[in-house]
Homo-oligomer: A and B are copies of this chain.
Amino acid sequence: MFYHRKELIQPVRVENPDPRFGQLLLEQFGGATGELTAALQYWVQSFHVEDPAIRDMLQDIAIEEFGHLEMVGKLIEQHTRNLDQTPVYDAPLFRVRGVGPHLVDSQGSAWTANYINEGANVVRDLRADIAAEAGARQTYEALIKVCHDEGSKKALTHLLTREVSHTAMFMQALDRLGKLTDPIFGSVEPDETVDLYFDLSKNGVDHRGPWNQEPKFRYREEPAPQGGLPPEPTNPDEEKLKLHAPKLAAG
């Protein structure tokens, strides 16, 4: 069951509102890397995670992310409060749809659950969560770099910080499962090709790294197809070469 208090989890005080910056901020309200993605991803995962402690962590962090979504919304609300004094074509989105946040990204594309990565397995979920946090952090850094308002910067830095915090927590959980540095999980045994590296993109100079070096990996410099020619397709609908009386044909 959810509850809400109207006070914010952290302060949001915009001194120099700029609706153009408000539009950029939509990326973290209704965008792929935004707080809604994070909140819903962790929370939906919690429905199928059996481990009570990891489930609890997912719920705690999800609820915090809803509070962060609220902060981003308030930033946008404040950045658009003087919309009438902004040239129309500097902030057309808010002119047409009204002030305050909307569930679209900075390009005006509606939020979609296609951004969410979850399902069936806690290791898969936690890896998805570390990725989600990395995307969110990256966007906050981009926003901070172009921000000219101190109050916004402070709020955004807090939001970036918490993405780091959550990453640390997810890493700890993966580590307890023994899966932070172990690539293998699940119940299907990999086959004997698991340590092969295929050099499929060529340019004469080999840049190598620990991801394709002995003894962990066997490097294949000239990988050849192992699968042979596939059988020909059989298509019952396929057009065969035959003649129709072209009575409607052009020309």
Contact = CB atoms under 8 A, between A and B. Distances in A.
Given A8-B1, A99-B48, A102-B119, A181 B59 contact: no
Given A96-B139, A188-B144, A249 B183 contact: yes
Interface in A162-218: 162, 164-165, 167-191, 193-203, 206-212, 216-217
Contacts of A30: 113
Contact of A7 (B76, B104, B203): B203
Interface residues of A, number: 180
A214 to B, nearest CB: 13
A113 B116 contact: no
A97 to B, nearest CB: 5
Interface string A70-87: 110110111001011000
A117 to B, nearest CB: 6
A47 to B, nearest CB: 4
A216 to B, nearest CB: 7
A22 to B, nearest CB: 12
Contacts of A164: 183-184, 190, 194, 248
A85 to B, nearest CB: 10
A81 B34 CA distance: 26
B112 A111 contact: yes
A150 interface: no
A153 to B, nearest CB: 10
Contact of A98 (B24, B142, B223): B142
A250 B175 contact: yes
Interface string A1-20: 11111111111100000001
30 contacts: A1-B7, A1-B8, A1-B227, A2-B66, A4-B202, A7-B203, A8-B230, A10-B227, A48-B77, A48-B237, A50-B232, A55-B207, A71-B227, A78-B231, A99-B120, A100-B233, A100-B235, A114-B115, A120-B138, A120-B142, A121-B138, A130-B130, A144-B188, A165-B196, A168-B250, A171-B248, A172-B250, A173-B211, A178-B246, A185-B239
Contacts of A173: 209-211
A81 B139 CA distance: 19
Contacts of A99: 48, 120, 233-237
Contacts of A234: 50, 81, 99
